[in-house]
């Protein structure tokens, strides 16, 4: 098999782990070809730092690790150039027009990583049995990771003065990720697995005692009921994301590079 040439967009908490693993050849069958970032990386970069357009000419696959804005700005362009795209910031897909463009674009193929939540493969399989009647996600994080520019002073005061869990927002997987672009990609991932953004009810909870970021997925239908709960340590450099996320990206890269003997 030929080596998968990978370009990485974003050199933050996720990108550094993914890029370092690729540069050290820890993903057999894949190599880091270049990095795209809006900051000069200098000697910190283990591969050439190039403009986005140059990356499309060098790579078979672009890995997005830069946030929802990068997906909106460049996602469709990647796919129409013939380059494949692996998206970490699935929350961008809550924009229905963007989702339609990405899912219909070609000849490149679009992939999504599960990120910080499990059970998505089972939820996708369950869809073949029939619709799920009730799907709920509760995400609990430290208050400081959930503060957003749109919040009024009353809500900010509640967050900062919290001594226990405080519900910050409740809505659907279509609404919530747009309000928390760095913190609720899990909601969009669950909705992608279920196949319906509006079917997934989401609660975002701030808890000053949350040493771990917690996601609880509950789903039920005529064919069964399902519950998944995960608790992750936040990334020390970016507490809005979980430490496990870059390793979920690497797992996806292992699959795309053709490693055998794994669960898909």
Q: What is the pLDDT of residues 181-230, one digit of tens each?
A: 877 889 999 999 998 999 999 999 999 999 999 999 999 998 899 999 99
Omega within 30 of 0 (cis) for the link into 89: no
What are the C-alpha distances in Å from 29 to residues 121, 154, 188, 249, 254? 24, 52, 29, 15, 8
- As annotated, the residues of the chain forming the CATH 3.40.50.720 domain(s) are 4-115+244-257
* Predicted pLDDT of residue 178: 86
- Please list, in sequence order, all residues whose beta carbon lies within 8 angstroms of the beta carbon of residue 106, skipping any fewer than 6 positions away: 79, 80
Strand-pair category, 110-112 with 84-87 = parallel
Residue 2 DSSP label: P
Residue 59 DSSP label: -
* Predicted pLDDT of residue 56: 95
* Predicted pLDDT of residue 177: 86
Domain 120-232 has CATH 3.30.360.10: yes
* Predicted pLDDT of residue 1: 62
CB 245 within 8 A of CB 185: no
* Predicted pLDDT of residue 139: 95
- As annotated, the residues of the chain forming the CATH 3.30.360.10 domain(s) are 120-232
* Predicted pLDDT of residue 151: 95
List residues with catalytic annotation.
Answer: 215
For residue 71 the two structure tokens come to 């997906």
Other residues' Cβ atoms within 10 Å of the Cβ of residue 191: 27
Looking at domain 4-115+244-257, which CATH architecture does it have? 3-Layer(aba) Sandwich (3.40)
- In the chain, which stretches have pLDDT less than 70? 1, 264
């Amino acid at each position: 098999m030929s080596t998968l040439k990978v370009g990485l967009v974003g050199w933050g908490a996720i990108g550094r782990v993914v890029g370092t693993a690729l540069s050290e050849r820890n993903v057999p069958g894949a190599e880091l070809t270049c990095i795209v970032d809006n900051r000069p990386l200098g000697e910190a970069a283990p591969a050439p730092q190039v403009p986005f357009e140059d990356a499309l000419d060098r790579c078979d696959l672009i890995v997005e690790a830069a946030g929802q804005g990068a997906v909106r700005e460049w996602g469709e362009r990647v796919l129409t150039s013939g380059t494949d795209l692996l998206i970490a910031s699935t929350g961008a897909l809550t924009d229905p027009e963007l989702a339609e463009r990405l899912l219909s674009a070609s000849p490149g193929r679009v992939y999504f990583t599960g990120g910080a939540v499990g059970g998505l493969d089972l939820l996708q399989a369950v869809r073949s049995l029939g619709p799920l009647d009730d799907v709920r996600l509760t995400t609990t994080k430290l208050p400081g990771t959930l503060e957003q520019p749109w919040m009024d002073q009353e809500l900010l005061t509640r967050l900062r003065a919290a001594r226990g869990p405080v519900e910050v927002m409740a809505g659907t997987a279509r609404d919530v990720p747009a309000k928390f672009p760095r913190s609720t990609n899990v909601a969009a991932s669950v909705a992608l697995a279920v196949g319906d953004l509006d079917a997934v009810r989401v609660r975002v909870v701030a808890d000053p005692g949350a040493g771990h970021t917690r996601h609880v997925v509950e789903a039920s239908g005529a064919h069964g009921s399902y519950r998944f709960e995960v608790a992750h340590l936040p990334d020390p450099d970016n507490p809005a994301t979980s430490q496990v996320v870059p390793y979920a990206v690497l797992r996806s890269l292992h699959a795309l590079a053709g490693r055998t003997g794994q669960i898909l």
